[in-house]
Amino acid sequence: MTPDEARKTLCLRWVANWVATSANFVFENEDNKNFDAGTSPWARVSVRHTVGGQETLGPAGSRIFERRGILLVQLFTPKDSGMQAGAVLANSARAIFEGVSFSGVDCYNGQVREVGPDGKWFQHVAEVDFRYYETK
């Protein structure tokens, strides 16, 4: 699996499982000009690759490399509306990935953090570590 394939796999899982909430979402660095959150809760999904390394030796084409990263879901709820709605959304986002293996991606170490005010929003972040293997 390549980094782009891993990103796509994570995003597809997000789309398939987030439909149960009423919060809209965007993917980081995509054309979101038609997105308008208004005053409704919303989410931004990001994939960040971190560390990794070569796992096996051998001829080119058969070497295995472990790749790691963090899936970040920023959840925005209206400022001054309390903590519960953001916490519920963040925990729902974490639950989609934490402790799950799918399509060659292993997800683990999920956590939720309260970030605080961000303009007219209050932000929570769900973070889940992931790993997969690339052969090259």
Over residues 58-103, the pLDDT tens digits come to 899 999 999 999 999 999 999 999 999 999 999 999 999 999 999 9
User: Where does residue 116 fall: left (phi above 0), alpha (psi -120 to 50 degrees), or beta otherwise?
Assistant: left
- Domain of residue 43 covers 3-26+39-135
Half-sphere exposure of 18 (CA within 13 A, CB side): 23
For residue 92, tell me if it sits in a domain: yes
For residue 54, tell me if it sits in a domain: yes
Taking alpha carbons only, the member of 102, 103, 107 closest to residue 127 is: 107
CB atoms near residue 117 (< 10 Å): 10
Over residues 1-25, the pLDDT tens digits come to 999 999 999 999 999 999 767 789 9
Half-sphere exposure of 41 (CA within 13 A, CB side): 21
Question: How many separate domains does the chain show?
Answer: 1
Over residues 16-58, the pLDDT tens digits come to 999 767 789 999 988 776 777 788 999 999 999 999 999 999 8
Tokens representing 18 are 């987030």
pTM for the model: 0.90
CATH number of the domain enclosing 102: 3.30.2000.20
For residue 33, tell me if it sits in a domain: no
Sign of CA dihedral 81, 87, 90, 95: negative
